[in-house]
Amino acid sequence: MLIRPISLSIPVFLIVFTFQEAVVNQFNLPGGGFSIFMIFALVWAVISTPEIAALLGFGAGFLMDLSLSSGGRVGQWTLIMIVVCYGVSYLGYGDENISGNPVGVVLFVVFASLAAEVLYIVTALLLGVSVGNINQILLILLGNFLWTLAITPIALPIFSRLHLNIFETRSSL
């Protein structure tokens, strides 16, 4: 039953990832910028079931590990995105106050993105990767939080419409 939605999701993920790498990463934004790909994966995780969200988190994390801008160990983003996507979906699954409310989805995605960044820093420290000093870390976390808060309401209708078109199970004439 999931073969059709997953086979349709793969090209969408690759297009958003390519857009992130080719366009968004070229912007030199103050505070470190944002990741449209992470926003995309987290929006889909919020409005999906936990099993689909874990699978989406694996795919998103794997692509983020392949990114040239990722400075961590291979598999680090994969683990973080599986945990965050599953957690976000598990906490929001069945709760119409979150998944039915655009403001709730935006805030959920923004705080999940912040949690993913903090988990990345913690796991990078555990793995011995250089992360910089505390002032740089706080500036990047604040910048990422604010940019994600600004971009998510703009991208949410597009990403949720894509999700609806791919995962919709009812037939139409």
Query: Does any domain span residue 170?
Result: no
Domain residues for 132?
3-165
Number of folded domains that form the chain: 1
Query: What CATH number corresponds to the domain at position 126?
Result: 1.10.1760
Contacts 24+ apart (CB under 8 A), 76-80: 76/120, 76/123, 76/124, 76/127, 77/120, 79/123, 80/116, 80/119, 80/120, 80/123
pLDDT in tens, the chain (173 residues): 578 888 888 999 999 999 999 998 888 888 888 899 999 999 999 988 899 999 999 999 999 999 888 877 889 999 999 999 999 999 887 666 666 788 989 999 999 999 999 999 999 999 988 888 999 999 999 999 999 999 999 999 999 899 888 887 665 55
Report the predicted TM-score, pTM, of the whole model to 2 decimal places: 0.90
